[in-house]
Chains A and B, each alone.
Chain A
Amino acid sequence: MYGRKVKLRFLFVVIILITLILSVFLVLKSLEENVIYFQSPSEINALTEIDKKKIRVGGMVKKNSISINAKEIKFIITDFKNEINVIYTGAVPNLFEEEKGVVAEGFLKDRNFFFATKILAKHDENYMPPEVKKAIEEN
């Protein structure tokens, strides 16, 4: 009915379409699973249930809140309205200081405790992550 060329081209188009649809599906699914949401202490305080997914918490490190022992570092992240206790095992970046902005990545234990697996580095003393700036401005 149709020539060989037409058939071939049809097959080609179909294959491309299928791969496109498949890859879009794959990407979206993986995106859904691996997205990390950013939340401020106030937002966490307003949570009704605790999600087991990895999140980021950002705000200021509260004054005189850092304490350290051989294993862990504990500190408090505040957005001047609500605060959250952070327990962290791992390496700290250079610009991790009290009364400076911080972003911690990890898991919530409950509304007051956060187990951090990573503290994100900043590169500039004057620079505040936009997330933190916004979280603080909102309050």
Chain B
Amino acid sequence: MLYSVIGYYSLILGLCFGLIIIYFSVKNFQNYQLLDNKILSFTFLQFFFVVISFLCLILSFVLSDFSNETVFNNSHTTKPLFYKIAGTWGNHEGSLLLWLFVLTLFILIFLLRSKKQPTKYKILTLVFQQMIIIGFFVFLIKTSNPFNFLYPTPEEGLGLNPILQDPALAIHPPILYLGYVGTSIIFSSALAATSLNIINKSWASHIKKWVLISWIFLTLGILLGSIWAYYELGWGGFWFWDPVENVSLMPWLALTTLLHCILVLEKKLILTSWVIILSIATFTLSMCGTFLVRSGILNSVHTFANDPERGLFILIFLFCLIFLSLLIFFFFHKNNKNNFTSLFWLSKETSIIVNNWFMMYFLSVVLIGTVYPIFLDVLSSQKISVGPPFYHKLIIPFLIPFLLMMAVGPKLKWIKSNLKDKFYLIILLAISILLSFLIVKNFDTKFLLNTILISSSMYLFFITLRDFFIKIHNNISQNIAHFGFSLLILSILFNNLFSTEIIANLKVGETFQSENTKIVFESINQEKEKNYQSIIGNFSIHNSKGKIENMLPELRIYNQPNIVTSEADIKTTLMSDKFIVINLVQNQDYFNIRYQVKPFMIWIWLSVVLISFGGLMSFIKKEHEK
């Protein structure tokens, strides 16, 4: 009760500070020397109030204060403390407050870290950022206030959706938001730099750090979501081309493209307009993602509530931001004329640009696949969905030149290059083709495509591996990230090619026999936990070599809300994952069983970690040099 009041008024105060900052900045824009410290302290105060508000919400959750509507809707007294806290951002209102928290945190860090930048630029960035922050404040207070009162106070809360009660999902939103919100800094800063016409090499190296940070967190955030979906949703896959996944992939693709363009800009001062457009696009896509998952348009775990008002608000807000940024882009941006003249076809920048085009193509495919059903629904009220084959068909063939470009591109020099003395490039290509031919030759389906795909990713794999040890060029971060990417594609390919699956309905005591696997359903045990009851199936899996493995998948029946979830049992080794999940069919004594052997599963996760580690290396290196 008390905390809700404090939290609510802190939010209002935070909003007021946002308005004050804008007022002061605009009024005293010319007299900026005077502003410097004042603005910093105002921003700090704003951040402080958001923190207070956020802490109040966490406290309300911890104390199970059901007079707060958000707490009532999403918490329960029997929930473990960890999930009470994590439940704070496991709902619409709380997650928006978290978003606001990261927004204000980042702008504060931005002001503290860019002391050397021109003051005008800093202030303008702050103004743009405050526009976004105020937008979110108004959105939060008006349509999704986390501190609404309930009277009379209910005895017990409704509880958190059990599939969200999971460690990976507890940290997934904060990490992902750090990535999403990081793009807002890039957006504001790009707009500020455009208005002042200071898009130059030093701006590029300054903003590169922010691009890297957002990129690292976005990558990790997507990874966490993917790992969670793998073991919690029970489908045994890591990517489903579900619209919710796509909306996080789109900003990632844009951000990755931006990261590479910034590198070119930093070295050569070309592609300036492209960088600005990408900065705008990245943030817009992040916002679009929020809009889509928050408006109830998409069917997913992120759809906390179907409130058209919220969707409309974000949509209008989004349009204002896009309109503003395009206005600034067209009025202020002066393109330096000699953009294309110095481009030679065989150079590092050409290869980066070509791969940029590929990325943009991937991005548009994902965008069309995600948005088309929504448009069709609005236009003709016809309900459709776009399945994985659409994405696979359009993306996979283009991965081949993309991978080859990734392998060869970094070998090229800036401006003009030639490929003499690169005997090993051809040798490695031959080895990759031979190896993949040997691997794929036992498969009939899509023989040619698979061979070419595996060889091109192996090519990248070998080349980056060789560079890592020989260290011809010292760009180790790029080397690690590209190596990680080749590992990712290879693991995904092998995983797809060699996965096996058995689905059967079994009663306790029954046995399922397939060609080379025998599944025996030995028994079930029941256990009672604090907020759920668990049914644990005891299975023994006999493979063709006579090896027996025991697996214990679990069903959890949560008390509040009354929902059944499956907890898969996964045995992970370096070579493959064994995955088993059970489900009880209503009123029947049969259990529905899904058993999968998924090769190289762990390498998919590890390679993504490697990719973001590459980003981290680059970030640290930058810090170190300065």
Rounded to whole Å, the gap between the CB of B229 and the closest CB of chain A is: 10
The verdict on B393 contacting chain A, using a C-beta distance below 8 Å, is yes
Contact, CB under 8 Å: A31 / B368? yes
Q: A79-87, A108-116, A123-131: which lies at the B interface?
A: A123-131
* Given A38-B383, A66-B587, A73-B585, A27-B394 contact (CB < 8 Å): yes
Cβ contacts B586-610/A at 8 Å (1 or 0 each): 1110101010000000000000000
Provide the residues of chain B in CB contact with A123, threshold 8 Å. 161, 163, 300-301
Interface centre among B301, B385, B390 (most CB of A within 10 A): B385
Are A121 and B235 in contact, with the CB atoms below 8 A? yes
Contacting residues, chain B, for A125 (C-beta < 8 A):
561-563
Q: What's the minimum C-beta distance from A66 to chain B, rounded to whole angstroms?
A: 6
Contact call B505/A68, Cβ cutoff below 8 A: yes
| A2 on interface, CB distance cutoff 8 Å | no
Q: Chain B residues with Cβ under 8 A from A27's Cβ? A: 364-365, 368, 394
A97, B586: Cβ atoms under 8 Å? Answer: yes
Total A-B residue contacts, Cβ distance less than 8 Å? 121
User: Any chain A CB within 8 A of the CB of B207?
Assistant: no
Chain A proximity of B385: nearest CB distance (Å): 5
A48 at the interface (CB under 8 A from B): no
B332 within 8 A of A: no
Known contacts A36-B386, A123-B163, A91 near B594 by CB under 8 Å: yes
Given that A73-B505, A125-B563, A130-B299 are contacting pairs, would A31 and B340 also be in contact in the complex, using a CB cutoff of 8 Å? Answer: no
- Cα distance, A139 to B580, chains bound together (Å): 40
What residues of chain A lie closer than 8 Å to B372, measured between beta carbons? 31
Contacts of A12 in B (CB 8 A): 340
Give chain B residues whose Cβ lies under 8 Å from the Cβ of A8.
Answer: 340
**Which of B234, B382, B503, B586: most chain A Cβ within 10 A?**
B586
Contact A30 to B390, CB < 8 A, known contacts A90-B503, A91-B503, A94-B563? yes
- Nearest residue in A to B382 (C-beta to C-beta)? A37
List residues of A (76-108) whose CB comes within 8 Å of B's CBs: 89-98
B390:A34 contact, CB within 8 angstroms:
yes
Please report the C-alpha to C-alpha distance between residue A88 and residue B583 in the assembled complex, in whole angstroms.
Answer: 15
CB of A28 to closest CB in B, whole Å? 9
* Chain A residue with Cβ nearest B388: A34
Of all chain B residues, the one with the shortest Cβ separation from A70 is: B505
Choose from A34, A36, A68 the contact partner of B393 (Cβ within 8 Å): A34
Chain B residues with CB under 8 A of A67: 588
CB atoms of A66 and B583 under 8 A apart: no
A1 at the interface (CB under 8 A from B): no
Contacts of B565 in A (CB 8 A): 94
Q: Hey, which bits of chain A sit against chain B, CB under 8 A?
A: 5, 8-9, 12, 19, 23, 26-27, 30-31, 33-38, 54, 56, 66-73, 89-98, 121-125, 127, 129-131, 134
Other A-B contacts than A8-B340, A27-B368, A93-B583, 9 sampled, CB-CB below 8 A, are A12-B340, A36-B385, A36-B387, A66-B585, A73-B505, A91-B594, A96-B586, A123-B301, A130-B296
